[in-house]
Amino acid sequence: MIADPIKAIEATKQLVAAVPLLGGSASEKDYRDALALVDYLIDHDDENPLIDLLAASIADYEDNSKRFAEFNKSVDEMPVGVALLRTLIDQHKLSYSDLKEEIGSKSLVSQILSGQRSLTISHIKALSHRFGVKPQWFL
């Protein structure tokens, strides 16, 4: 048992008062404040255990907020290969034309990312070679 449960309870109350999202607040302001606090902690004290607590509360807010419902639905419906390709494009700061060798025209890349067309086996092989990832990650 905690040596001083009264002290722990008081500290918890103070923490929730300072960061209401940790107490289950559904306020967008509290959500944004929590995001800003995570950024601050990562820059100034990246080993602070508060980061993990905030990350869990932020994830819960994003999973349950009406504001994110449409986004979450589109992510759930997105094929894994398309989600991976979007992430790789973002991480490598690529334009659609940068994928000409692997996929083809910008319009074809756009059609794949919008779900109008699917990645072919040759696309997957070329993309996995370019980015050094396993081909099955696109399936």
Q: Average of pLDDT values for 49-57?
A: 96
Question: Does residue 75 surpass a pLDDT of 90?
Answer: no
In angstroms, the CA 139 to CA 137 distance is: 6
* Mean local confidence (pLDDT), 93-100: 96
∠ at Cα 109 (129, 119), nearest 5°?
60
User: Is the pLDDT reported for residue 71 higher than 90?
Assistant: no
- How much is the pLDDT for 73? 87
Percent of the chain past pLDDT 70, that is, above it, reads 100
| DSSP letters for 72-117 | HHHHHHS-HHHHHHHHHHHHTT--GGGGTTTT-SHHHHHHHHHTSS
Look at residue 16 in the predicted model and tell me its pLDDT. Answer: 97
